[in-house]
Structure 1
Amino acid sequence: MIVVVTGASGFVGGALCRAARAAGHRVLALGRRPAVDPALVGGAPYLSWDLADPSARPAVPAPFARPDAVVHCAGLATDWARPEAFEHGNVLTTRGALAAFPDAARFVHLSTASVYDPRRPTVLAREAEADGVRLPDPYGRSKAQAEAWVRRLRPDAVVLRPHAVYGPGDTTLLPRVLQAVRRTPRGPRLFAVGDGRQLLSLTGVANLVDACLLAAAGDAHGTFNVCDREPVRLDDVLREVLIGHGLPPAPVYLPLAVALPPARAAELLARATGSARRPRLTVYAVRHLAHERTLDLTAARTRLGYRPAPTDLGPALRAS
């Protein structure tokens, strides 16, 4: 199979390139970095390309101009950025990927479970539950807009919605957990929201890569949740992370009503000072952690043949 992977210089895109190459596929890796270590992309040829800029198109090697599949992993995965950054990283980049490879036999788009309503629990959510939701945060809105462009221009595409992707090389999930650890007179403490009993569907990067390859090689189309085999408790996850980093395994939980005001204040301060740094506490993160976030996998299991492994944070903790 001839595969083009966008976002190949990132965490998920790089993992997908390595897995696809190991499986014997021919891969072209695309990313915004000027160059990457060949090991990151499994030795695949690499092109530096800002897909959001139509004038920046490089020469694409002939075998990849009409690939069997494009797997679009590029995107801005953060809850704190300027609106124009989300527009560029998620909406314009997706439109650029669609325009760059109109003759690809398959188009697989990596979205996010953040398109579900963050203001209420997501309990074994099915894919249609995101329909018509008015999302309060710019990240979720930009990802929903990107999905809409994919459906409009490639109704035969596959859209994958992972939640909280982790694994070796993770640059988002585990670093954010550790960023929330505060030093107190009683030692380092991790402050979290809720009571710790919230169930979460996490997505190991190996499971996500498997779903991408199944979608690229199959004939199904539509939208699919992608996560690990069973949900896990928030408290169990946080304690495992803390223990793995030699920290006291005792998160301190705050009710949503207590955590929201300081999150709003932190965001207001960051905006007022023009800071580009993500505040330690954001409204998105507080809302997201306060409720159950679990996904139904029926569609992925039955139509993609997806068979996920259980949650295992060990390799990610050892790699960090």
Structure 2
Amino acid sequence: MRIIVAGASGLIGTALSRALRNAGHDVCALVRRPPASPAEFHWNPAEGRIDETALRGADAVVNLSGAGIGDRPWTRARINELSSSRLGPTRTLAAAMARQEKPPAVFLSQSGSSYYDDAGPVVLRENAPAGGGILARLCVDWEAAAHEAPSGVRVVTPRTGVVLSRSGGALGRLLPLLRLGVGGPLGNGRQYWPWITLPDVTGAFEFLLRTPLSGPVNVCAPESADVNSLIAQLAGALHRPAVLRVPAPVLRLVMGKLAEELLLASQRLEPAILSEAGFEWQHPSLAQAAAWVAGSGPEA
């Protein structure tokens, strides 16, 4: 397959591009800087511009574009940036596909588990309703933009959970603390985080590109875990204690809405569609995932 990737330099994009190339696919990246190789094409999604030759002959487009959710405080300007950095690229890609004589067969456009908001211990399958928070509304708009792709394009919107990586990603700031024995749960720790390892994210995306699934797909591990269990397993695999809990009021004071929606919200996702379609995880259990995170060697 010839696959075009937007957001190829990020954590998931880098691992996915490598995995797709290793599988024999022709992978090209969309870049905002001048292209440095024939496998790169220039685009400026903020202005809706893209090299029209990029999508010519493409079989699939993968959209991973978007500013980091937890990178900076949620000022009004930052919230607008979170939205524009997702909706702009998605709509630019959808419009570019519509201009092709033969559009790509599949458009895999990232979404997030925050689509569901805070649901406590309730199990969330793909047919669960959207939440009403900032991130939930963002995911709703993001998925709607993906469905602006022309008729006949199979649109998949993976609602990806917390990606466990050996470096970077959601645990990029927490892992070094855990390795030093000074980390711990956030809030009361009873909130569920839908987690998945980086190799399983790339495996799931490859699976979604070649199977006939469409629409929203929960991309997380089949074993659910609350934050207490997640931190305990990671710390145990690292042979470190994890007793320095950060109380919810402190998180709210320091991080505001960002803490409430990103760290303290509970989303107990079930990857129903992936399971029913026969996807096989490398790390289906939290114990396996923690052992992988604590290990060494290449990430994916």
Q: Same fold (TM over 0.5)?
A: yes
Give the RMSD, CA atoms, in angstroms: 3.1
Task: Pick which of 3-12 and 197-206 moved more.
Answer: 197-206
Matched, 1:217 2:210: yes
| Contact 1:90-1:143 within 8 A present in 2 as well | no
Paired residue for 2:270? 296
Paired residue for 2:194? 201
Overall identity of the aligned pairs, in %: 25
Instruction: Give the one of 24, 34, 51 matched to 2:45.
Output: 51
| Contact 2:146-2:155 within 8 A present in 1 as well | yes
TM-score normalised per structure 2: 0.79
AA aligned to 2:112 is T
Paired residue for 2:279? 306
Cα distance in 2 for residues equivalent to 1:75 and 1:316: 25
Unaligned runs of 5+ in 1: 39-43, 267-280
Is the alpha carbon distance of 1:191 and 1:238 closer, same or farther for their aligned partners in structure 2, counting shifts above 3 Å? Answer: closer
Superposed displacement of residue 176, structure 1:
3.8
Q: How does 1:30-69 map to 2 (within 5 A)?
A: 30-32=30-32, 45-55=39-49, 57-58=50-51, 60=53, 64-69=55-60
Q: Give the count of matched residue pairs.
A: 281
Partner of 1:91: helix, strand, or coil? helix
Q: Deviations over 1:128-179 (max 9, x none)?
A: 2234x322x2x4432221111223445731111111012244x231124358
| Contact 1:239-1:251 within 8 A present in 2 as well | no
Is the alpha carbon distance of 1:49 and 1:199 closer, same or farther for their aligned partners in structure 2, counting shifts above 3 Å? Answer: same
TM-score normalised per structure 1: 0.75
Instruction: Give the one of 171, 174, 177 matched to 1:174.
Output: 171
Unaligned runs of 5+ in 2: none
Cα distance in 2 for residues equivalent to 1:33 and 1:192: 38
Q: Deviations over 1:76-124 (max 9, x none)?
A: 2314451221122111111112122331111111110011123x31532
Cα distance in 1 for residues equivalent to 2:274 and 2:95: 27
Superposed displacement of residue 3, structure 1:
0.9
Superposed displacement of residue 206, structure 1:
1.6
Paired residue for 2:243? 250
| Contact 1:66-1:101 within 8 A present in 2 as well | no
Superposed displacement of residue 241, structure 1:
4.1
Cα distance in 2 for residues equivalent to 1:227 and 1:189: 24
Is the alpha carbon distance of 1:284 and 1:180 closer, same or farther for their aligned partners in structure 2, counting shifts above 3 Å? Answer: farther
Partner of 2:21: helix, strand, or coil? helix
| Contact 1:238-1:251 within 8 A present in 2 as well | no
Matched, 1:129 2:103: no
Instruction: Give the one of 96, 102, 105 matched to 1:100.
Output: 96
Paired residue for 2:27? 27
Partner of 1:225: helix, strand, or coil? strand
Cα distance in 2 for residues equivalent to 1:115 and 1:204: 20
Is the alpha carbon distance of 1:180 and 1:97 closer, same or farther for their aligned partners in structure 2, counting shifts above 3 Å? Answer: farther
Superposed displacement of residue 34, structure 1:
5.7
AA aligned to 2:13 is G
Q: Deviations over 1:153-209 (max 9, x none)?
A: 45731111111012244x23112435888x9xxx94546211x34443201122121
Paired residue for 1:145? 141
Is the alpha carbon distance of 1:130 and 1:93 closer, same or farther for their aligned partners in structure 2, counting shifts above 3 Å? Answer: farther
Q: Deviations over 1:15-47 (max 9, x none)?
A: 1111111111111122446678x9xxxxx8233
| Contact 1:95-1:149 within 8 A present in 2 as well | yes
Paired residue for 2:84? 88
Is the alpha carbon distance of 1:173 and 1:317 closer, same or farther for their aligned partners in structure 2, counting shifts above 3 Å? Answer: farther
